[in-house]
């Protein structure tokens, strides 16, 4: 670990100013940043601790929206009754992440900015092998070697990593917005537009391996806004090797509105299959108006999965992702 300077701003204005300085990195709960420092993934000169900024851990209802402050922890969100009532899928996703101890520190602001679990990426410095994300231009060993847990959507030859977050998948299925602030002012983005799959980064002329979000360096997440959907039911399903304290092989977040037996609206996002939550847009457009049955749902979901591009070691993930999505949708309806 390399030496750095540490600052703890008292209010948001001060934080915004400090964060905008070159060489600055935000620390909130520190559960992810500390790993990076130890492994040598980042070497910030200044660490700006926003963990004690006032009023940023709020969870509440406001004008038809559920609002979450960026400093709310995964346990606070997961255990909050308002979240349980209006965004069950998000609460479930939070509580299925990490361990109880980590969730007590992990913030929802930092969570969406955690980086891939690709083992090549997570090696300690000096980096013993190639990795375009760690050392741009060196190559992507996972492309043809150990890629069992890597992407089936959106990847390029440059990088086949997935985003590991659970809550992010739920936020995407909920059509949440993320609120950002910088010295230039505030802006709001759909959560689903925050991250870039490698193909998308490439399409807009960025480095597919390193350009993971549309966030600018001087921007800070202040919170999220989740639109309340009357009568919506939701569920989150996480599949992993170990029953607790493990990242997912695949996850699905489903938000469904029913009209009797008929699907009125549906939104489904898959997690751990791409570098961003992957919405199943074909299923979302084809299912409304249909009577709910596992077969109908499976057929619709399969249509999205037909687009998957598995790697040498992860064909199983296509099947797994489909089954996980079907289960999550059925679980949402039954909830």
Partner 1 sequence: MTAPTEGRAIGAPRPRIEGPLKVTGAARYSADNAPPDALHATLVGAPVCQGRIVDVDASAALAVEGVVRILTWHDLPTFGPVPPWQAAVLNLPMQSDRIQHEGEPVAIVLATDIQAAEQARTMVTVRCAPTPPVLPGQGRRNLITASEEVDESGLVEGERGAPFRIGDVDAALASSAVRVSETWIQPSRHHNFIETSGTVARWDGDLLTVWDSAQASFIVPNVIAAALQLDPGNIRVIAPHVGGGFGGKGWVWPHQILAAAAARIVDRPVKLHLGRADQYTSTGFQPLLDQFLELGATEDGRLTALRHQVSNITSMTEVYVEAATEVKDLYACPAIDVSQSVEPVTVNLPTPMRTTNEGCGLWPLESAMNELAHRLGVDPIEIRLRNHADREPTTGRAWSTKHLREAYEEGARLFGWYSRPRGGRSEGNWRIGTGMASSTMGQIRFPGNATVVLQRDGDVVVRVDIQDIGTGLQTLLAQVAAEELGTSVEAVRVEWGDSDLPSTGPMYAGSGTVANTSAVALACRDIRKQLGEHSDTDDVLDALRQTDLPQITGDGRYELPNRVPMDMYGGDSGYAIRSFGAVFAEVAVDPELGIMRMRRMVGVYDCGRVMNARTARSQMIGSLVWAWGKSALERSELDPTTARWMSKNLSSVHIPVNADISDLITIAFIDEPDPYASVTGARAMGEIGATGADAAIAEAVFDAIGVRFRELPITPKRILDALAEMGR
Ligand X SMILES: Cc1cc2nc3c(=O)[nH]c(=O)nc-3n(C[C@H](O)[C@H](O)[C@H](O)COP(=O)(O)OP(=O)(O)OC[C@H]3O[C@@H](n4cnc5c(N)ncnc54)[C@H](O)[C@@H]3O)c2cc1C
Q: Which is nearer to ligand SF4, 162 or 270 (CB)?
A: 162
Q: Which is nearer to partner 1, 8 or 117 (CB)?
A: 117
Q: What are the CA-CA distances from residue 266 to residues 32, 155, 225, 263, 301 (Å)?
A: 33, 26, 19, 7, 12
Question: Can you say how many angstroms the Cα of residue 11 is from the centroid of all Cα atoms in its chain?
Answer: 27
Choosing from 94, 96, 108, 121, the residue that interacts with ligand SF4 (CB under 6 A) is 121
Residues in region 192-221 near ligand SF4 by CB under 6 A: 209
| Measured distance CA(197)–CA(154) in Å, rounded | 5
* By CB under 8 A, residue 122 contacts partner 1: yes
Give which of ligand SF4, ligand X, partner 1, none residue 131 binds (C-beta under 5 to 8 Å, depending on kind). Answer: ligand SF4
Choosing from 33, 47, 140, 328, the residue that interacts with ligand SF4 (CB under 6 A) is 140
Q: Which is nearer to ligand SF4, 220 or 308 (CB)?
A: 308
Token reading at 194: 């925050």
* By CB under 8 A, residue 222 contacts partner 1: no
Which one-letter DSSP state was computed for residue 292? P
Token reading at 188: 């709001």
* By CB under 6 A, residue 165 contacts ligand SF4: no
Query: Cβ 183 to partner 1, closest distance in Å?
Result: 33
Choosing from 161, 172, 178, 263, the residue that interacts with ligand SF4 (CB under 6 A) is 161
Query: Cβ 158 to ligand X, closest distance in Å?
Result: 21
Choosing from 83, 98, 113, 142, the residue that interacts with ligand SF4 (CB under 6 A) is 142
* By CB under 8 A, residue 295 contacts partner 1: no
* By CB under 6 A, residue 169 contacts ligand SF4: no
Residues in region 224-253 near partner 1 by CB under 8 A: 239-246, 249
Q: What are the CA-CA distances from residue 74 to residues 89, 112, 285 (Å)?
A: 13, 11, 31
Q: Where are the beta strands (DSSP E) in the chain?
A: 5-7, 24-27, 46-49, 59-62, 65-69, 177-182, 185-190, 220-227, 233-239, 250-259, 262-271, 278-279
Q: Which is nearer to ligand SF4, 152 or 161 (CB)?
A: 161
- Kindly write out the interface string for residues 19-48 of this chain, putting x where it contacts ligand X by CB under 6 A and - elsewhere: ------xxxxxxxxx---------------
* By CB under 8 A, residue 334 contacts partner 1: no
The bridge status of strand 46-49 relative to strand 24-27 is: parallel
Up-side HSE of residue 204: CA atoms within 13 Å toward CB?
10
User: What DSSP string runs through 223-272?
Assistant: EEEEE--TT-EEEEEEE-SSSSS---SEEEEEEEEEETTEEEEEEEEEES
* By CB under 6 A, residue 165 contacts ligand X: yes
Query: Cβ 205 to ligand SF4, closest distance in Å?
Result: 18
* By CB under 8 A, residue 137 contacts partner 1: no
Nearest residue to 72 via CA among 247, 226, 224: 224
């Amino acid at each position: 670990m390399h030496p750095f300077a540490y600052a703890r701003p008292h209010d948001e204005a001060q934080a915004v100013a400090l964060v905008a300085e070159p060489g600055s990195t935000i620390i909130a709960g520190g559960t992810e940043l500390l790993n990076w420092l130890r492994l040598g993934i980042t070497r910030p000169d200044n660490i700006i601790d926003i963990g004690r900024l006032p009023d940023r851990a709020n969870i509440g209802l406001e004008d038809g929206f559920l609002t979450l402050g960026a400093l709310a922890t995964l346990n606070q969100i997961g255990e909050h009754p308002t979240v349980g009532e209006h965004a069950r899928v998000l609460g479930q996703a939070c509580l299925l992440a990490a361990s109880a101890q980590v969730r007590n520190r992990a913030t929802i602001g930092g969570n969406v900015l955690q980086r891939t679990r690709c083992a090549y990426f997570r090696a300690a410095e000096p980096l013993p092998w190639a990795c375009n994300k760690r050392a741009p231009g060196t190559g992507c060993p996972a492309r043809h070697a150990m890629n069992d847990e890597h992407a089936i959507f959106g990847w390029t030859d440059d990088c086949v990593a997935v985003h590991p977050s659970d809550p992010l998948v739920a936020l995407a299925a909920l059509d949440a917005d993320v609120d950002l602030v910088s010295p230039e002012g505030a802006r709001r983005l759909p959560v689903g537009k925050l991250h870039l799959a490698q193909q998308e980064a490439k399409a807009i002329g960025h480095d597919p391996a390193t350009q993971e979000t549309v966030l600018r360096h001087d921007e800070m997440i202040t919170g999220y806004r989740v639109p309340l959907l009357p009568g919506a039911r939701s569920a989150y399903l996480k599949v992993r090797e170990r029953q607790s304290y493990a990242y997912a092989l695949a996850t699905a977040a489903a938000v469904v509105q029913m009209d009797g037996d008929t699907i009125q609206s549906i939104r489904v996002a898959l997690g751990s299959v791409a570098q961003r939550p992957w919405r199943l847009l074909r299923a979302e457009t084809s299912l409304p108006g249909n009577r709910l049955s596992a077969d109908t749902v499976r057929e619709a979901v399969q249509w999205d999965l037909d687009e998957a591009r598995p790697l040498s070691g992860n064909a199983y993930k296509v099947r797994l992702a489909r089954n996980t999505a079907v289960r999550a949708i059925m679980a949402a309806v039954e909830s």
